[in-house]
Amino acid sequence: MKNKHQQVVDLSNPNEGQFTSTSEITFNDKMKKQSAVEYLVNVVQSCIAPDYIPKEIIQQAKEMEKQQIEQAFADGVDDEYEWHINNQPRTNAEDYYNETFNK
């Protein structure tokens, strides 16, 4: 299965003008998916500077993202169990996001 996605990113830097990055990414079942943190790091490194974000910060962000995904999965398992007991889902994805990240 192939899925094409075109993304245009505009980053403004008051000292350097405007950066524009256009890329077309093709995904298939065998390709590794890119996380949001990895995507952001790649954009910053290619548009601003390769070492703009310290490696320690990148690793911390990746670990936070991993923990958030693991927690979301665990919460989903709990919600599925509750749904089978009460025949009613506890929440939807948007409510879960807002509750989890206080939005």
**Per-residue confidence (pLDDT) for residue 29, from 0 to 100:** 57
pLDDT tens, residue order, the chain (103 aa): 444 444 444 455 444 444 444 444 555 555 578 999 999 999 999 999 999 999 999 999 999 999 999 999 998 888 888 777 877 766 788 888 888 888 6
- What is the rounded CA–CA span in Å between residue 64 and residue 22? 28
Overall pTM surpassing 0.75 (yes/no): no
- What is the rounded CA–CA span in Å between residue 33 and residue 98? 25
Q: CB-based contacts of 6: which residues, under 8 Å, 6+ apart?
A: 22, 23, 24, 25
- What is the rounded CA–CA span in Å between residue 65 and residue 71? 10
Contact between 25 and 5 under an 8 Å Cβ cutoff? The reply is: yes
pLDDT tens readout for residues 26-39: 555 555 789 999 99
69 phi/psi in degrees, rounded to 5: -65, -45
